[in-house]
Structures are given as structure tokens and as C-alpha cells.
Chains A and B, each alone.
Chain A
Amino acid sequence: MADVTLTNLHKRFDRTEAVSGIDLEIKNNEFVVLVGPSGCGKSTTLRMIAGLEEVTEGEILIGGELVNDVPPKDRDIAMVFQNYALYPHMTVFQNMSFGLRLRKYPKDDIKKRVEEAAEVLGITELLNRRPKQLSGGQRQRVAMGRAIVRNPRVFLFDEPLSNLDAKLRGQMRIEIKRVHQHLKTTTVYVTHDQVEAMTLADRVVVMNAGLIDQVGTPGELYHSPRTRFVAGFIGSPAMNFLDCELSELDGGLVVKVGSELSLPVSSGRLERYRPYVGKPLTLGIRPEHVTEERVDRDGVSLSVDVDFVEPLGMETMVYFSLAGEALCGRVAPELNPQPGQSAKVCFDTEQIHIFDRSTDLAL
């Protein structure tokens, strides 16, 4: 068990800077997910922690020890790869025990560890099979088993569920969570799937263009995104964004979106928002906060023309246009909105986010 510290970490490939100076502290036993779009530097960061990429600049500490120049095998880490990376000529048992055999563990100990790991992952009956005789989910379990048997200080996962279908991905997500709760090993997990990030992580690190945009618990990222990028990346469907301005009105403030929508700013935010009156801003509001009118919620109602709908059973997504932007709302299925008809939607004024358009930072 160990904590992992990244200090001013840089990685350059020729002229391209993949990671542009990140600082991150991962506590002992913590499950941290690095999430972000393709090319944001999350996998490169993970590979630098693993020792598979050299660090251009900065420091990596595992358990307080500087490991920049320590080879992967001596870092006491285990990694699960996106495409499993199982040795095709070895059985599941041999795959899982390979690292232990190289380290000359006693045979009895190897057998005990592999059987225990197989038990945890439910693959005991597969120990004599070869990888090509296994399904995708089983292969991924074996890859995890290979990591578990060594009882490393840190687990590294590089998009381990990307090759699985949606149903299996859901099952494996629960499996990974269960294994972490059982073993409590420090884990760094890379994914581009924000659902995986939100469901698995103790803390999520959102990366964008080689930098960390925000680090926080899933709840913090969802409710208080620090940048417009984080606000748009976390949550599904994505947050709606509209150009807006702040105006004074009767001693208070209103958010004006063209002439179509005016949302009063709650008293708790007045002081924070007042310096931005008249400046170009962006209003962000999640689809779940654009709903039908509800008695328990303050909001501003608006009649809109529905472009199309997505009935999902327990809720219905409605898509409409406002001030030239396509917006999404989430309404009760009983309302049964129809494309081409008008519907009344209510913007929850307590749940709005305002971003400075020049910096994309939240106010």
C-alpha cells in the first residue's frame, strides 16, 4: 500500500507536449480515476507512473520514494491493459503466476496466491484454459488476476473495459469496485468514459490538453464544475450551454439569454456574480434541471417548440432550440411531449452555472 505523488510532471514526444505539468497527490488506498477525451494525456500519465514512459520533467513518488529512474519491475505496481495483454501460449494459471515465478516465489505460495485471486474473481474453473478459449470478460478477469496475485502497492488500469460490450462493462465495473473494497490497494484508473469515472472513483481527475482541469469527488465535479470543459464532460446527456449576460434589476441580478430567457440570480450568489455584469458569459444548465413545472422547485417557465424526443421509460428527453442553440431537457414520461408541438419547460434557477467566456472558468 502506498500513496502516489506527481509533481510538475511533463512528457514531450519530439515537439508534442502530451503532459504539460501536472501536480497530483493520490492517497494510500484511494481509487483515483483519470478521465478526459482522447489525447488529453491521461494514458501517458499512467504509463509514466508504471515506468513504461520516461518522465521528461518533474517527479513521481510512490510510497515517498522517487521512482523516475526505477524500472517498472521494481516499482511494485501491477497494470491491467485495455487489450488484456495475456500471454497466449500460457494457461490462465501460468499467466497469473508468471510474475511470481520470475520473482522466484515458492511453488506452494504461488499456487495459494493464484487460487485465492481466482476465487475472488470467480475464475477458478478456468485456470487450465488458454486465453483464446476465454470470452472477453473472462480474459479481463484473468488480466486483473495477474495484477492481484502480486499484491502490489499500486494498481494501474488503462481503459480496461473499453473492449467489452455495454452489459459486461457494467458487470466488470461492479467487479472492479468490489475487488478494490476487498483489497483496498491504491488504484489509478484511466478511462474516457465519465460513467466509469463517476461510479468507480473516490476522486476523479479531469484532464484536458495535457493539464488537470479539476480534481474532486464525483459529487463535487457534478455540482461544482470549475471550468466549462469539466461541466460539459461530466454528466450525460451533457450540460446545455447558452451565451448570456448579467444585468442589474431592482437591486438584484438576472441572467439574460438574448430576449428569450431571463433567470433571476439567487441572493447567495449576488456578491460573486456582480463584478461580471455586462461581460460576455456562458450559462450552463444540466438537462435534469430543465424539467416540467414542479411545485417543489423555483424556476422560470418557458414555452418551447419540441424538435424531437427520446423516451427512455422512466424519463423522456426533449430537445428544443433557444437563442440559436440546441437544448435538452428531462421531463416526466407522462407528459408525453411530441415533436413539432409546444411544451412548457421550467429552468431551475438554483442549479445554473455561469462561466466567464474569456477564461471558461466558473464564476
Chain B
Amino acid sequence: MTNRTRNTGALGALIGNNTSLNSDRKWALIASYACLIVFVIFFLCPPFYMLITSLKTNAEIADLSTNPWIIEQGLTIEHYISLLTETAFLTYFKNTVIVAFFVVLITMVISVLAAYALSRLGFWGSGVIATGVFLVYLVPDSLLFIPLFKIVGGLGLLNSYWVLVLVYPTLTVPFCTWIMIGYFASIPKELDEAALIDGANHMQMLLRVFIPVALPGLIAATIFAFTVSWASFLYPLAYIYSDNQMVLTVGTVTTLIKGDVFHWGGLMAGALLAAAPPVILYAFLMDYYIAGLTSGATKG
């Protein structure tokens, strides 16, 4: 802080406008914090509303005269109990975990290998293919699900969560490959050459040099693949219709909305529990985004 103040002072003295610079900085900070507060309120309102509603009784939720933001008629966990005991929520949860696990695994294996090949092996047409990979990601899934329906139907995979393990990588692999190409491209070429002279083959170079150095990118890609496979709605809605194969996103909604009857308490509880794993994952892995692992590899 002392350094920063001194630097600002020195710069201020240089341009002969010390007070104005400090005042500018103060206003910039105030504006930044004001924007951040608005941003935080905007994004925390929905989860807060979900939490409050999930802890209210059905009677209070239905009573339009009460304040929706506070619990006035007593706190209850009946929605959570009924969700876990009377619905197939735990089955949906288990299915979603299986799907997410395999999708992340398949995505990362394909993406890392593809990104390494495209960024480092320098074969003819690798640049065009790298761009093509990204363009594939730009095709929306709402366009793809009908042709994909024909394909998975032909493979006899309809109404099984394994169809999602097959289909989700079409969304995740292009984007994750693109992220990993960027990270691998930022690794100095001399590192490969040093490893090559040290006696590493391509697989050893990838596993022992590239992956550890590009760990922040790997984690970013993992989070993306996990989020897509956890939160996707369209594909399970189109391809799965049995309760025992269903995943969280569609299962929660179809179970707790019966015709025009909305079980708001259960819906909110289900949404909160379903959102918990991604939130926990983000909280643990966020620090890796910031870790500057490549510093010190080369000059500087």
C-alpha cells in the first residue's frame, strides 16, 4: 500500500496534479464498489429467494399477502424431507453424477490430446482444424437435437442416461479443446525442446510437462464440461422419459410440476440441492484460475 501510494504520488507530482489523481482514484473505487454491490444483489437474489421459499410452509407460500422475502409463519424442512423420501430425487442425483463424471472424463481426454496435437505437432492443416473445432461449438444444441435424436435412436440408446454421456461431448469437446489450445500455445516452445532433449516422448511431455503447466486451463475446461453436463436441459428432455434414467434438471421439474400445480417449496429445495455441487466445485477450484504456474519457466 505504501508503495502504491508513493507511486501514485510520484506520478501525480510528475504531471503536477497530485490531488486530482487521488480524487480520481477515490471516485473510481466508489463507482467500482457501487457497481459490484448492484451486481452481487442481482445475482444473489434468486438463490436467496429459493432458500427462503424452500423453508416456508405450503400455506405461507400460497398466501399472497405475506412478504415473499421473509419467513413469517415458521420455518420448515418438510419440502426437503419429502423431496428426498417421496420423489426419485436421489436417483436423478446419482444419474447426474454418473453422467457428469463420464462426460468430464471423456471430454478432458479428447480435448487435451486434440489440443496438444493441434497446438504442438504442427501437421498440415492443423490451423484450419483448430478454427473448425471452435466453429463447431457455435452450432446451437437446439439445432442439433433432432438429427442427434435419429442417431441415438438408431443406436438404441434412447431413454438411457448413457445417451447423454455420448451426446454431451459434442457440446463440451470443441470448447474445451479451444481453451486448451490457447493454454498450450502459451507454453514456451523451449520447454518442449528441453523435454525432448531430456528424453521425453510426446506422451511423457504431455503428462509430465504440459498438463502440470497448463493446470489452470485444464481446470477451467473441467468446470465448463461439468457445468454443461450438470445443467443441460434440452437433451434429457428430448431423449429420456423414464424416472430411473432421468437426470436432475428435467427430473425435478417433471416430478414437482403436475399439470398446472406447482410444488414451489419442493421445486426450490430441489433447485438448491441441485445447484450445490457446482457451487462447491467452483469454490474449491477458483484459486487455480489465478495461480500463475508458468511464471519462472523462462525469462522474466
Residue numbers of A with Cβ under 8 A of B are 50-52, 71-73, 77-79, 81-89, 98-99, 102-103, 130-134, 136, 139, 146, 163
Contact = CB atoms under 8 A, between A and B. Distances in A.
Contacts of B299: 82-84, 136, 163
Interface residues of chain B: helix, strand, loop or mixed (majority): helix
A88 B197 contact: no
Contact of A50 (B188, B197, B297): B197
B209 interface: yes
Interface stretch (B63-71, B156-164, B170-178, B198-206): B198-206
B198 A132 contact: no
Interface in B79-123: none
Nearest to A78: B197
Contacts of A89: 212-213, 215, 293
Nearest to B215: A89
Q: Of residues B188, B195, B198, B293, which shows the largest number of chain A Cβ atoms within 10 Å of its Cβ?
A: B198
Q: Of residues B191, B293, B296, which shows the largest number of chain A Cβ atoms within 10 Å of its Cβ?
A: B296
A52 B196 contact: yes
Nearest to B212: A89
A165 to B, nearest CB: 12
Give the size range of B's interface with the partner: 20 to 34
Contact of B296 (A52, A73, A132, A163): A132
B294 interface: yes
B290 to A, nearest CB: 14
Contact of A131 (B196, B212, B297): B297
B298 interface: yes
B24 interface: no
A88 B295 contact: yes
A128 to B, nearest CB: 14
Given A130-B296, A131-B296, A136-B299, A85 B198 contact: no
A102 B188 contact: no
14 contacts: A51-B197, A73-B197, A79-B194, A83-B190, A87-B194, A88-B295, A89-B212, A89-B213, A89-B215, A99-B197, A99-B199, A102-B199, A132-B296, A163-B299
A99 B293 CA distance: 21
4 closest A-B pairs (Cβ-Cβ)?
Answer: A132-B296, A99-B198, A85-B190, A131-B296
A98 B200 CA distance: 9
